[in-house]
Every structure is written in C-alpha cells, then in structure tokens.
Amino acid sequence: MCIGIPMQVVSTEGTTALCRGMGESRRVDTLLVGDQPVGSWLLVFLNSAREVLSEQRAEQISQALQALDLALSGESEVDHLFADLVDRTPQLPEHLRPKP
C-alpha cells in the first residue's frame, strides 16, 4: 500500500519540483499536476505529485498521518488530531442520500 504525504514546493525545475514535508525533502515529478508555483502544497506518492492541495487540506492529512504513527506505537489518544471531525454529525455522500 502506498500512502501519500503532503509536501510544499520549494523550487521548480522543468517537470520536477523540490518539495519539503513530513521532515524530509524530495525531488518530485509534477507531470500529473502541471507546473506549480513555489509555496504550493502537493499530495506526493512515490516521488510523484498526484494532487494539488490547499494548505488546510495538507494540514489535515499531516495530522491524520501523525495519528496513524501514534496508533502504530500503541497510543489511543488521537482525537486532538481530528479537530475537524470531533463533535460533527456524519454526513452521507450525495450519491447515497435518499431522493426527495
């Protein structure tokens, strides 16, 4: 299984970008997302950018990955990393909602 990580563009060169995120730097292929300006956030899988992210979405993914790391080390207190979900009523996706 491959997990995407959010990374921020530091510099670009042709169809690649130097990106930083989750404590590391990588040269990332940007062919699938096109040329991105410095400061953009990308979801990166195996050194290939697959999606352009908002800063807010990049932070949510980073926190979810932190929660996964904590869970793998035996920690069960991870609610603080899901502030956008705690105390929220779950919503069905549009295609699963009953027709009026």
Per-residue pLDDT reduced to its tens digit, 39-83: 999 999 999 999 999 999 999 999 999 998 899 999 888 888 888
Instruction: Choose between 65 and 84: higher pLDDT.
Output: 65
Do 32 and 55 touch, CB atoms closer than 8 A?
A: no
As a dihedral over the C-alpha atoms of residue 86, residue 91, residue 94, residue 96, rounded to 10 degrees, the angle is 130
CATH for 5-81?
2.30.30.140
Count Cα atoms within 13 angstroms, Cβ side, for 71.
Answer: 9
Average pLDDT, the chain: 92
Under the banding of pLDDT at 50, 70 and 90, the label for residue 86 is confident
Q: How far apart are CA 26 and CA 10, in angstroms?
A: 10
Domain boundaries, the chain: 5-81
Instruction: Choose between 85 and 58: higher pLDDT.
Output: 58
Copy the structure tokens of residue 46: 């195996």
What pLDDT does 100 receive?
A: 81
Q: Is the pLDDT of residue 1 over 80?
A: no
| CB proximity list for 45: less than 8 A, separation 6 or greater | 2, 3, 4
Global pTM value: 0.81
